[in-house]
Homo-oligomer: A and B are copies of this chain.
Amino acid sequence: MPAPLDRVLAGLPGIRQDAEDLYKDLHAHPELGNDEHRTAARAAELLRGYGYEVTESIGTTGVVGVLANGDGPTVLLRADMDALPVREDTGLPYASTATVTGDDGDEQPVMHACGHDVHVTCMLGFARLMASAGDAWSGTLVTLFQPSEEKADGADGMVEDGLTDRVPRPDVALAQHVLPYPAGYVGVRRGSFLSAADSLRVTLYGRGAHGSMPQAGVDPVVLAAMCVVRLQTIVSRELAATTPAVLTVGSIRAGASPNVIPDTAVMELNVRTYDDATRRQVLDAVRRCVDAEAKASNAPRQPLVERLNAFPPTVNDDEVADRLDRAFRDHFGDDAHTIGLQTASEDFSRIPEAFGAPFAYWGIGGIDPDTYRAAAERGTVAQDIPVNHSPAFAPVIQPTLDTGITALAVAALAWLGADA
């Protein structure tokens, strides 16, 4: 009798066309975070059709499909559903032309520029294969479709809406992301995988004055400049060379006229770290630096530091990662890799943490392998391969979808397979 994985994957050729059609449809109909009504409805409808018990509208648009299939562990696999306010520039026949009206009344373009349509498609294809091969595995399968990953509030939203009481507690939680590697590539790693990302808005208070009379004011532009300069020293002097971290001041705004000293300056900054101790250390140092620079400027008030959003670090459980690594290497051979540390961020970990379950996360490639290889040979990968969030990010449909569906199956069966 064939191995469980072979029995599950035997169904793949039969669902491939449906998967590709679904992908094109999702890609052409992207929805912003917490607004994924069409996508969620589609997922719920298909899951029900496959025989899953479905719960909808967890958090905002979250969907969970559960397939109980005898004794054995419970495995949760998660796909995120939201798209981005990016104007698609891929030239694909199924490119998005969608727009939504933003809070400010402006039309915003919407695009699946991060590949969550790949994630949803693969999860549904995988769910279908597993439902069709119930004799190949034993245990409980939980497929979770999460809203609003990009805004870092979708996982928390599901948890706050009672997720842990509404679905079985998993023994392990898993997730994958399409990344700018060659399609066919699968990569996992132990420990730190994705960075924590914290975005802060810092409002620096000066005191306005005519530009010719600095002595009558407190110049918030000079204060902001000193803060930007000072913040560089956190990475350069307060962290070990081997502790990776990034602190970027992405935005700075002050004043409207060359000749008027404004009252305030506003900086928005982003901090990336890979463990909680470093994260805490850097955030504390930001606070310390801006407070002290404000004092040095004799500012009338201490800076206001507001949290804009906060992604946790994604730190794979070593044992889960090792089990995935072995399973991937067994199945994918040379296409299975130890992936490098990524500077991107995710909120997936909030879900297993809510359950107290170990978890791991892996990456699959989405770039045409020939294109990638040519760029690699030219040494121009960084310049030539569009990355996630780019208007030109365009995963090739195959072997991306096959790889994503297969990787989910390989991963799930590492726990649920009869020989697991």
Pick 10 A–B contacts, CB within 8 A, sort by A.
Answer: A222-B236, A224-B225, A225-B226, A226-B226, A232-B232, A234-B236, A241-B272, A250-B260, A251-B257, A292-B292
Nearest Cβ distance between residue A247 and chain B, in whole angstroms? Answer: 7
Top 6 nearest A-B pairs by Cβ distance?
A292-B296, A212-B343, A251-B255, A225-B228, A258-B268, A241-B244
Nearest Cβ distance between residue A244 and chain B, in whole angstroms? Answer: 4
Determine whether the beta carbon of B241 is less than 8 Å from that of A201.
no
Determine whether the beta carbon of B295 is less than 8 Å from that of A295.
yes
Q: Does A3 contact B (CB under 8 A)?
A: no
Q: Does A216 contact B (CB under 8 A)?
A: yes
Q: Does A240 contact B (CB under 8 A)?
A: yes
Nearest Cβ distance between residue A195 and chain B, in whole angstroms? Answer: 7
Give me the interface of A with B, judged by CB distance under 8 Å.
Answer: 195, 197, 199-201, 210-216, 219, 221-222, 224-230, 232-262, 265, 268-270, 272, 285, 288-289, 291-293, 295-298, 308, 340-341, 343-344, 382, 387, 389
CA of A250 to CA of B261, assembled, Å: 5
Determine whether the beta carbon of B296 is less than 8 Å from that of A197.
no
Which residues of the partner chain B approach A213 to less than 8 Å between Cβ atoms? 240, 246, 343
Which residues of the partner chain B approach A234 to less than 8 Å between Cβ atoms? 236
CA of A241 to CA of B269, assembled, Å: 16
Nearest Cβ distance between residue A61 and chain B, in whole angstroms? Answer: 24
Partner of A248, one of B219, B288, B343: B219
CA of A240 to CA of B214, assembled, Å: 7
Determine whether the beta carbon of A236 is less than 8 Å from that of B235.
yes
Partner of A238, one of B195, B215, B228, B343: B215
Determine whether the beta carbon of B246 is less than 8 Å from that of A212.
yes
Nearest Cβ distance between residue A229 and chain B, in whole angstroms? Answer: 5
**Most chain B Cβ neighbours within 10 Å, of A219, A234, A242:** A242
Determine whether the beta carbon of A215 is less than 8 Å from that of B243.
yes
Given contacts A214-B236, A258-B200, A344-B212, contact A241 B246 (CB under 8 A): yes
Which residues of the partner chain B approach A341 to less than 8 Å between Cβ atoms? 242
CA of A228 to CA of B298, assembled, Å: 17
Told that A225-B226, A251-B254, A251-B262 touch, could you supply 17 new A-B pairs with CB distance under 8 A?
Answer: A195-B212, A199-B258, A213-B240, A213-B246, A213-B343, A222-B233, A226-B233, A230-B296, A233-B297, A234-B236, A236-B236, A241-B245, A249-B255, A252-B252, A252-B254, A258-B268, A292-B296
Which residues of the partner chain B approach A289 to less than 8 Å between Cβ atoms? 296
Which residues of the partner chain B approach A241 to less than 8 Å between Cβ atoms? 195, 212, 244-246, 272, 343
